[in-house]
Structure formats: C-alpha cells, structure tokens
Amino acid sequence: MILAQVEKNRKSVSLQLNSETKSELGQFFTPSAIASFMASLFNVNGEKKINILDAGAGVGSLSAALLDRLAAYPLEKIDLTAYELDKHLLPHLKANLDRYQRFFDEDFQIAFSLDLEGKDFIVDSVLRYFSNTAKSFDFAILNPPYKKINSDSAHRRLLRKMRIETVNLYPAFVALALKLLKSGGQVVAIIPRSFCNGSYYKSFRQFLLREASIEQIHLFEARDKAFGEDGVLQENLIIHLSKHGKQGDVTISTSLDGNFTGLKEWNVPFNEVVRSDDPELFIHIPHHESDEESSIYENFRFTLEELDIQVSTGPVVDFRLKAHLLKNLESGAAPLLYPAHLDDFGVKFPLENFKKFNAIRENAETLKYLYPSGFYTVIKRFTSKEEKKRIVARVVRPDDVPGKLVGFENHLNVFHHDKLGIPEDLAFGIAAYLNASVVDTYFRQFSGHTQVNATDLRRLKYPSKKKLLELGQWAKSLNSFDQKMVDAKVETL
Ligand SMILES: C[S@@+](CC[C@H](N)C(=O)[O-])C[C@H]1O[C@@H](n2cnc3c(N)ncnc32)[C@H](O)[C@@H]1O
C-alpha cells in the first residue's frame, strides 16, 4: 500500500524534474518492480537490528521497497540513513519514508529511525570516515548517480584519500558504501555495465573484488527500443555484493524487461565471471539461453577491446561536407564509400551514375575524417526490412580503392585499429563471422531495432583473435559469397 503511494509519487516527481538538474545529478528513479526485486536479494539472517544506507535516495523508492520487505521479519530495530543532494526532492523523500514510521510503530512494533541527510554523500562520508564519526551499515541499497568525475575535482581528491580511484560517480558510491559496511554487510546496486571491462574501471574492479564477493548479477535483455521508462535499463545491471564474503559460485539472472518477464536464474563458477588468468579482471556475464545463443556465448567470448580493435560510425557526414564531395575521383581527392558501394561479395568502386558521391577532396577541413588506405571490415548501418540479413559485412581492401586515403560515409560502420587498417586476415575473419546466420539471429534477439550501430557491434562477443585469423585466411580465398559455406565454417569454430 505505502509502496504504491511511493511509486505514484516517483512517477509524478520524475515528470517534474528539471532537465538540467536531471542530467547534472543523474536523476533516474527506480520503478517499484525493480526496487522490490533489488530488495528481495538481501539475505536476512536472523538479525535483530538492521542499519540501512540509501545513498542518492531520490524520493526513496529503494528504501521503501526494502522497508516493505523487512516488515515481514521479526526485527527489533531498523535505522535508515538516506542521502539526497537535491533539496527539491527532500520533502518528497521525507514524506514517503515518514509513512514507514507510522507503519512500523503501529503495526509491527519495530523501532524505526530515519536520518535524512540533505548533503553530498561523498563529501560527508569521507569527512566522517576521517573524523571517526562514520556510521557502519548492514545493508546498502543504491541507484547511484551516473556522471563523470573530473580528475581535478573535489570529489576525486576526497575519494583518493580513501584510496578509491574512479572516473565516474557510480563506482564511487558503490566503493564508499562498501567501505561503510560492516564485515558481512551487503550492497545491492543498479549500475551501468561499463565497469565490467575497460581500463578506466580496472582500479574499481580491483577494489570491488578485494573487498567483497559477487553474489548475484542480474541483466535486462531488452527486446525492443521502447524498453524502460528512460530507455536506459538495457545498459544497466543489478549487482549483489557481500563485504568480505567468501567467493563461491555467482548467481546470474536475466529478465526480458524491468517487470521481470521471463525471469531465469542459474549459477556459474566464479572463474567464468572473472577468469583467474585475466590481469584486467574483466567481469564477464555468461549467458545461457537457447542452444544457439549459448553456443555463441560459450564459443565467442571476446570483446573488441580484448581483440585490440575498435568500431566506429563512418565519420564523413555528407550533408555537412557537401562542398567537398565529388561525383568522380580526381587528383587531390580520396575515394568515398557509401553502403551502395558494397556488393554481394566486396566493394564496387566507383559507381557510375551514382546519385551520391564517389570522392571527397583532401584538404584541411576533410583530412581528419579520412582513414589511410588499408584493410577494413565495413558494416551497413541500415538494411531494408526486405533484406534477409540484418548484418551485412564486407572487406575494403587497398586495391579496391585507389590512393592513400579513403573516406567512410556515415551510413557505414568501420572496424579499425586506432583509425588505421587492420590485418587482412582479421578483416576477412570479422566479416565472415558477422555474416554468419547464427550471429545474425543472435543479433536480432538483443537488438530490437533495424539499425546496426557501432554500440551494438561493441556489445557483441567475438571469437578469439586466433580463430578470427584462421577464419579470415579461409574467407579471403573464396571467389564468391556463399551463405551456407560461411555458416558451416563458423559452426566449426
Ligand atoms: C539515479 S538517482 C536514483 C534515485 C533513487 N535512489 C532511486 O532509485 O529512485 C540518483 C540520486 O542521487 C542524487 N545525487 C546525485 N549526486 C549526489 C551526491 N553527491 N550526494 C547525494 N545524492 C546525490 C540525485 O539527486 C538523484 O536523486
């Protein structure tokens, strides 16, 4: 009942948020279904007193869900500390959590005390930590703000004092919460997936794996564009950590959406999540789905970062550079490739009577958009509904396009290495892999839209470099594109 009132309040306050403060303070509030799921993850082990932290509490949706759940336990005392920096939200937060005061007093005889801190969580906790006035908590429930921290900011300096090195507010909140927990205390947080890999978050991963055990990770598998109220769920995960916990198997759960449709759960050995031989401590989230998907996950587990290549959207936006575009290649110009230049097998250049352009002038304004001639795998960003495959990948070879430079138009995605070409066999290997039907089917399942964006290609998993090179060596010797042969070959990987 109270939860329904809090949810109503959350929705109305969300609509009134000022868009500047919303992005400045990372104000995306948690819908009640997700908040209740998060609350359900805490293990309540016969404690009599529970001390809770909700840092960046918004209107109190997470605390409310946790208090709702705890009412079912024979507790004597609950203390809740909620931090919220935005003064406009404090009256809502107070009103929502005050309802629990009456609820616990009258209906459950649980002593409930509420400490609302209208302060910056980072500043206040660090100051308290060093003046020995910090509280220690049993449970921390968090949907922290997501925002970059500048390297010379006060936040960064304060966090450094606690030996927390991070580039974003959300890991800082999780790390501080872990510091403030009692040994054996638990954190449940909904946070972006970005900390799982990448060198920027290595120090946070080290901290996290040193301080806590990973008990559970929940993923949302968005199937369409309109997923989640703010469209951000797909990039987020829920993590359950136990401070100084003994690391055992990790529970992985997935649901199709934020209402937990199709909820599935299974356990995996920790070594499949963080491999013991991985100095980067990447956090992998092994899937197990249909046979086809699971074979993709089991066999193809490498990220582009691990393969040391990148994918970008073609940098030449034709309407912005119109003055520099040419129908035909001439001296002082570089070939310009559009999706139309990709044919059934490779690249057809130049195109005669082409409505768009075949070339771009090389000058001070355009040079930064051009790549040196080399081997590149290119993918069409848009395919028509009638086209059988969502992913159409081809290799651009230096011989396909004359000259030292080449332009990729914005409707293409390009695989490159620091804006240079990639090894020939790798370019052919990536193209063959992406052209396989199994990858296309898998891709359609995780990307609801008809576009193939660079972000989607970054999120995909790839075979190892060795396997891609082998595949590429085979693929480059083909004289025509044969779907059945490509599918059969990729299946052998
Ligand atoms: C992502 S929202 C989540 C709100 C709430 N926990 C929920 O799940 O609905 C993060 C909240 O943190 C607050 N916030 C941002 N920076 C903060 C800081 N340094 N200290 C305390 N709160 C902060 C924002 O105003 C916002 O309400």
Q: 294 lies in a domain?
A: no
Residue closest by Cα to atom 12 of ligand 1? 56
- Arithmetic mean of pLDDT, 313-322: 94
Whether 37 has a pLDDT exceeding 50, the answer reads: yes
Q: 428 lies in a domain?
A: yes
Pairing of strands 333-337, 405-408: parallel
Q: Residue 69 — very low, low, confident or very high, per pLDDT cuts 50/70/90?
A: very high
43 and 138 co-located in one domain:
yes
Query: How many separate domains does the chain show?
Result: 2
Q: How high is the pLDDT of residue 223?
A: 47
Q: Which of 84, 97, 116, 123 to mutate to test the pocket of ligand 1 (most atoms within 8 A of CB)?
A: 84
Where is pLDDT greater, at 336 or 390?
A: 336
Q: How high is the pLDDT of residue 199?
A: 84
75 and 204 co-located in one domain:
yes
Atom of ligand 1 at shortest distance to CA of 122?
19
Q: 136 lies in a domain?
A: yes
CA of 38 to the centre of ligand 1 (A): 16
Whether 262 has a pLDDT exceeding 80, the answer reads: no
CA of 368 to the centre of ligand 1 (A): 39
CA of 84 to the centre of ligand 1 (A): 6
Where is pLDDT greater, at 180 or 480?
A: 180
Can you give the CATH number for the domain in which 404 is found? 3.90.220
267 and 156 co-located in one domain:
yes
264 and 345 co-located in one domain:
no
67 and 134 co-located in one domain:
yes
Q: 343 lies in a domain?
A: yes
CA of 143 to the centre of ligand 1 (A): 7
Question: Phi, psi at residue 210, to the nearest 5°?
Answer: -80, -40
Q: How high is the pLDDT of residue 51?
A: 98
Partners of 342 in the beta sheet? 347
Atom of ligand 1 at shortest distance to CA of 25?
15
Q: How high is the pLDDT of residue 228?
A: 53
Q: Which of 62, 83, 85 to mutate to test the pocket of ligand 1 (most atoms within 8 A of CB)?
A: 85
38 and 187 co-located in one domain:
yes
267 and 407 co-located in one domain:
no
CA of 103 to the centre of ligand 1 (A): 25
Domain boundary among 270, 286, 302: 286
CA of 145 to the centre of ligand 1 (A): 5
The 10s digit of each residue's pLDDT in 304-317 is 988 999 999 999 99
CA of 28 to the centre of ligand 1 (A): 8
Mean pLDDT of the chain: 89
Whether 296 has a pLDDT exceeding 60, the answer reads: no
Closest CA to 468 of 478, 456, 476: 476
Q: Residue 21 — very low, low, confident or very high, per pLDDT cuts 50/70/90?
A: confident
Q: Which of 12, 86, 158, 235 to mutate to test the pocket of ligand 1 (most atoms within 8 A of CB)?
A: 86
Q: Which of 12, 29, 117 to mutate to test the pocket of ligand 1 (most atoms within 8 A of CB)?
A: 29
Whether 148 has a pLDDT exceeding 50, the answer reads: yes
- Arithmetic mean of pLDDT, 79-89: 96
Atom of ligand 1 at shortest distance to CA of 54?
6
Whether 225 has a pLDDT exceeding 50, the answer reads: no
248 and 337 co-located in one domain:
no
Token readout for 186 is 């638990």
Q: 300 lies in a domain?
A: no
Whether 298 has a pLDDT exceeding 80, the answer reads: no
Residue 474 DSSP SS3: helix
- Arithmetic mean of pLDDT, 92-120: 91
Ligand 1 pocket by C-beta < 6 Å: which residues? Answer: 25-30, 56-58, 61-62, 83-86, 89, 120-122, 143, 145
pTM: 0.64
Residue closest by Cα to atom 6 of ligand 1? 57
Domain boundary among 222, 251, 286: 286
The 10s digit of each residue's pLDDT in 355-387 is 999 999 999 999 999 999 999 999 999 877 667
Where is pLDDT greater, at 290 or 482?
A: 482
- Arithmetic mean of pLDDT, 279-288: 81
- Arithmetic mean of pLDDT, 74-91: 95
364 and 235 co-located in one domain:
no
Whether 87 has a pLDDT exceeding 70, the answer reads: yes
Are 406 and 370 a contacting pair, CB within 8 Å?
A: yes
Are 140 and 185 a contacting pair, CB within 8 Å?
A: yes
Q: How high is the pLDDT of residue 95?
A: 95
Q: How high is the pLDDT of residue 230?
A: 52
Can you give the CATH number for the domain in which 206 is found? 3.40.50.150
Q: 303 lies in a domain?
A: no
Whether 144 has a pLDDT exceeding 50, the answer reads: yes
Where is pLDDT greater, at 188 or 23?
A: 188
321 and 247 co-located in one domain:
no
Dist. CA 166–CA 457, nearest whole Å: 26
- Arithmetic mean of pLDDT, 154-168: 92
Are 459 and 311 a contacting pair, CB within 8 Å?
A: no
Residue closest by Cα to atom 15 of ligand 1? 25
Q: How high is the pLDDT of residue 394?
A: 96
CA of 393 to the centre of ligand 1 (A): 42
Q: How high is the pLDDT of residue 239?
A: 98
- Arithmetic mean of pLDDT, 39-64: 95
Atom of ligand 1 at shortest distance to CA of 28?
1
- Arithmetic mean of pLDDT, 429-434: 96
CA of 111 to the centre of ligand 1 (A): 26
- Arithmetic mean of pLDDT, 25-31: 85
Whether 323 has a pLDDT exceeding 90, the answer reads: yes
- Arithmetic mean of pLDDT, 42-70: 95
CA separation (Å) from 171 to 186, 242, 393? 16, 16, 36
Dihedral of alpha carbons 5, 11, 12, 18, sign: positive
325 and 200 co-located in one domain:
no
Atom of ligand 1 at shortest distance to CA of 155?
19
Token readout for 215 is 């008990």
| CA angle (212, 215, 220) in 5-degree steps | 120
Range of the domain at 315: 310-491
Q: 296 lies in a domain?
A: no
Q: What is the DSSP letter of 167?
A: S
Domain boundary among 237, 271, 286: 286
Q: 292 lies in a domain?
A: no
Token readout for 200 is 């920027």
Whether 293 has a pLDDT exceeding 60, the answer reads: no
Whether 222 has a pLDDT exceeding 80, the answer reads: no
63 and 158 co-located in one domain:
yes
Residues near 129 by beta carbon (within 8 Å), at least 6 away in sequence: 162, 179, 180
